[in-house]
Structure 1
Amino acid sequence: MKKALSLAISSVLGVAALASTNAYAIEGLSANASVTSNYLWRGVTQTDDGAAVQGGIDYEHSSGIYVGTWASNVDFGGDEVTGLDASYEADFYFGYAGAVGDFGYDVGYIYYAYPDDSAEIDLGEVYGSVSYSYFTVGAATLVNSGDDAFSDGQDDDWVYVYADAAFEISEGLELGLHVGNFSGDSAEDWFGDSYTDYSVSLSKGGFGLLVSKTDIDGGNLDDVKVAVSYAVDFDL
């Protein structure tokens, strides 16, 4: 999921302008870049409530098959002795998306990598979702993890289920609603118990405002989190 937000945005816009002049664009290949005041994943900060610069590249074939990669800085507050000292996250994913009548669907696999962490905390999930009109429901389940991702003796399993809705409330202004539930032994190992997260967002012209909360009991994990972001997408 900052210290010079305006400079980062200027850099992103510069890259976008450069890409738009590319006379050798590849059909289906696109990129994205963003800055955010807090990188939140399932309602939990991945940057110790700090800012993040993020970006990715995607390729989508006309058949519905897609592959992509995405990266962000992270801060889990760990050290070289205990691990969780990663400074960045790199995700790799592939999947298939399509539609049957008015229903859309998306299934795939994502691998979360933390290459510079002193512990082996990489992990992967299989995910799927179904959408209709303004609404989307989906789920993701853990399928593999590094030796140090969870405590010894824990079963490496979790399930995340969610429901989203997105509405255009005025021209170009979108309201997003989200609720999700994170459960399983590995989720409880990380957060002490299963939990539910909620969020409301507004977005327009690449700018976004997100208000998020969880019902995690302990620390500041149940505090209301607010994130302001700016994102651009462009063809390559």
Structure 2
Amino acid sequence: MPFISLRRALCVALSLYALPTWASEITDAETHAISGSVSIVNKYIYRGGEENDDVTLQGGVQYDHQSGVFAGYWGSMLGYDPTDETQNSGFEHDVYIGYGRQLNDQWSYSSQVTAYIYEGGGTVYNDDRSSKRRTTGIELNNTLNYQDLSLGLGVLLSDVDYGNAGDVYLSAAYQYALPYEVTAKALVAAYIYNDHGDDDFVETRKSFRFNEARLGLSKALGSTGAEVFVEQVWGGKDRMGEKFDNPTLVGLNYNF
């Protein structure tokens, strides 16, 4: 039986609204499916951190095969350029490929490899250019779903300017259907940081950090494929011990 519910897997592994939130439904008579999503949100918060503090356009497309293989692209506006501190804008390109299966009516799982690519990115150097790191990150994301509960585990596979290979992201999310096509969503997440690669770019002051918690509501707009959502984020701390903000997110999402 093919894996047909990628929505929760992608949301949990990579935050509630940080990556694609659409789902492809492949019937027994179909072999391929294409789906996508376009969103606008008042700001882009990813794993507790602020990626854009302004209105943000996001969107992507995903291909699903009946075998369980899927691949896709997702992009978002950013409020910074990782290679140029004088710039206050940029763009994130995420490319991923994975495999998932629906085990039965209650259990499913998904594993995917994601490349986080930043426009204008490549290599960044320290002040005296004696050391450098790439801005493109590669991560392995795994998600186990039981009914409406999802558990996610992400492992960073490469040293980048914002993390060390071996950093582990843990998340748990739950969604509950309410009357009038309203869905309640909750997420809690934490990081286990690998400090063995610390250098001029990355400093780890505490290996385990609570990352963020989220509570949200989404409302489907009839059969249009669109939904509105509101979400409260309670930020934790990063590997340096710096506290994240507690923003409220509102947005509109259209699935096709």
TM-score by length of 2: 0.70
> What is the CA-CA distance between 1:77 and the residue it aligns to?
6.9
Q: Which residue does 2:11 correspond to in 1? A: none
Deviations 1:10-66 (A, max 9, x none): xxxxxxxxxxxxxxxx9401221100011111121111x222101101100111110
Are residues 131 and 77 of structure 1, via their aligned partners in 2, closer, same or farther at CA, if it must alter by over 3 Å?
A: same
> What is the CA-CA distance between 1:190 and the residue it aligns to?
6.7
In structure 2, the gaps of 5 or more residues are 1-30, 125-133, 221-226
Q: Counting helix residues as a fraction of each chain, which structure ranks higher?
A: 1
Question: After TM superposition, which residue ranges in structure 1, 4 or more long, deviate above 6 angstroms?
Answer: 83-86, 217-220
Q: Larger RCO: Structure 1 or Structure 2 (Cα < 8 Å, ≥ 6 residues apart)?
A: 1
Q: Confirm or deny that 1:125 pairs with 2:139.
A: yes
Residues 18-37 of structure 1 correspond to what in structure 2 (within 5 A)?
A: 27-37=32-42
User: SS of 2:157's equivalent?
Assistant: strand
In structure 1, the gaps of 5 or more residues are 1-25
Q: In the comparison of the two structures, how many residue pairs are matched?
A: 202
Select which of 138, 162, 165 maps to 2:152. 138
Q: Confirm or deny that 1:198 pairs with 2:209.
A: no
Contact 1:33-1:54 at 8 Å conserved across structures: yes
Please identify, of 223-232 and 68-77, the stretch whose mean Cα deviation from structure 2 is larger.
68-77
Q: Confirm or deny that 1:231 pairs with 2:240.
A: no
- Paired amino acid for 2:92: E
Return the alpha-carbon distance in structure 2 between the equivalents of residues 103 and 140 of structure 1: 19
Return the alpha-carbon distance in structure 1 between the equivalents of residues 171 and 214 of structure 2: 11
Are residues 94 and 84 of structure 1, via their aligned partners in 2, closer, same or farther at CA, if it must alter by over 3 Å?
A: farther
Contact 1:195-1:214 at 8 Å conserved across structures: no
Q: Which residue does 1:107 correspond to in 2? A: 111
TM-score by length of 1: 0.76
Q: Which residue does 1:68 correspond to in 2? A: 72
Q: Which residue does 1:96 correspond to in 2? A: 99
RMSD: 2.8
Q: Which residue does 2:185 correspond to in 1? A: 176
Return the alpha-carbon distance in structure 2 between the equivalents of residues 166 and 190 of structure 1: 35
> What is the CA-CA distance between 1:225 and the residue it aligns to?
1.0
Return the alpha-carbon distance in structure 1 between the equivalents of residues 55 and 175 of structure 2: 25
Select which of 60, 78, 100 maps to 1:56. 60
Return the alpha-carbon distance in structure 1 between the equivalents of residues 244 and 169 of structure 2: 18
